[in-house]
Amino acid sequence: MGRRALLPWAGLALAAGLLAGTGAELLPRAHLAWRLLRAAEDPPALARLRLDPVATPERVAGEIDAALAAQDDSLAQSFLELADARGIPVDATRRTQVAALQQVAPLRTARAFAEGALTGQADSGVGLAGAFAADLTGLGDLRDLAREGGHLVRDEPYDSVLLGLASVGLAATAATYAGGLGAVARGGATLLKTAHRSGRLSRPLAASLGRLARESLDPAAMRSMAVAAGRFDLVAARTAARNGIRTGAVTELTALGGRAYALQTRLGTRGVFQVLSLARSPAEVGRAVRLAEGMGPATRAVLKLLDRAALVIGAVLMELVRTVWLALGWCWGLALFCRRLGLLIGRLIWPKPRRGRINAARSLPIAAVASA
Question: CA-to-CA distance for 15 and 300, rounded, in angstroms?
Answer: 48
Contact 60, 87 (CB under 8 A): no
Q: How confident is the model over 44-64, as a mean pLDDT?
A: 90
Cα dist from 298 to 77, 156, 266, whole Å: 8, 45, 11
Question: CA-to-CA distance for 149 and 222, rounded, in angstroms?
Answer: 8
Residue 130's SS3 state is: helix
Amino acid letter, residue 309: A
Q: 112 — phi, psi (to 5°)?
A: -65, -40
pLDDT digits (tens, 9 = 90+) for 243-279: 777 766 677 877 888 888 888 888 888 888 899 999 9
Q: How far apart are the first and last CA of the chain?
A: 42
Cα dist from 118 to 141, 195, 236, whole Å: 11, 15, 22
Question: CA-to-CA distance for 29 and 327, rounded, in angstroms?
Answer: 9
Is the pLDDT higher at 19 or at 300? Answer: 300
Asked if pLDDT for residue 368 goes beyond 70, the answer is no
| Predicted local confidence at residue 369, as pLDDT | 47
Confidence band of 126 (pLDDT split at 50, 70, 90)? low
**pTM for this structure?**
0.69
Buried b (16+ CB within 10 A) or exposed e, 239-268: bbbeebbeeebbeebbbbbbbbbbbbebbb
